[in-house]
Amino acid sequence: MLLEIVQYGHPVLRQKCRSIEHVDDGIRDLAKNMLETMYAADGVGLAAPQVNIPIQLICIDIPEDEDSVSLLKVDGEDRKLSDIMPLIFINPSLEPYGEMESCQEGCLSVRKIRASVARPKKVRATVTLLDGKTVTIDCDGLLARCFQHECDHLNGVLFVERVSSAQRLTLKSKLKRLFG
């Protein structure tokens, strides 16, 4: 089932999301619908607050031919993207590390806007999968960026707040024009 993706200005996008204690059928159904919604919108990541549910649930699917990802380890073992995608998880904790890198980002909740955002190149993400298993993922490239972008959503932060001060003014007027 396709869900409605809320847009910039909606208060749920500003909320701090609560962690999930039990994965039940409701959570599994929601995750399935979020994935379907993300694919239909041509996205690579979607966080639950973007479908108006402020809980710590995220889905990510990075295509296996994404060549920006050169580091990918799960619990210390080398893995390929196709081994772990689509990746659906709850209650993430992130440790970004490495040098900063600027890259264009977009967001399904901030349609028609792209902007360059500087973030650390790598992350160590500890996440719980829907089967209850907790894994540690070390990665770089688009996957590291996606982890950081999606986890920001769980803290009520959007990528447009992470742009450089030089871009901020132009972006502000664009956001006003598009979202009122």
Residue among 66, 95, 101, 150 flagged as catalytic: 150
Neighbours of 166 (CB within 10 A): 8
Q: Is the dihedral of CA 96, 100, 104, 110 positive or negative?
A: positive
- Segment near Ni ion (CB under 5 A); pick from 77-85, 107-115, 133-141, 169-177: 107-115
When asked if residue 123 is in the footprint of Ni ion (CB under 5 A), the reply is: no
Binding residues for Ni ion, total number by CB under 5 A = 1
Q: How far apart are the C-alpha atoms of 152 and 172, rounded to whole Å?
A: 19
**Least distance from Ni ion to the Cβ atom of residue 164, Å:** 18
Contact 108, 168 (CB under 8 A): no
Alpha helices in the chain (DSSP H): 25-40, 81-84, 141-154, 165-179
Residue selected from 5, 62, 107, 144 as contacting Ni ion according to rule CB under 5 A:
107
> By CB under 5 A, which span of 8-16, 73-81, 90-98, 101-109 interacts with Ni ion?
101-109
Least distance to Ni ion from the beta carbon of 45, Å?
7
Nearest distance from residue 81's CB to Ni ion, in Å? 20
**Which residue's CB is nearer to Ni ion, number 87 or number 107?**
107
**2 with 33: CB under 8 angstroms?**
yes
What is the C-alpha separation between 171 and 38, in angstroms, rounded? 24
161 flagged as catalytic: no
**Residue number, nearest CB to Ni ion:** 107
Interface residues with Ni ion (CB under 5 A) are 107
Residues with catalytic annotation?
150
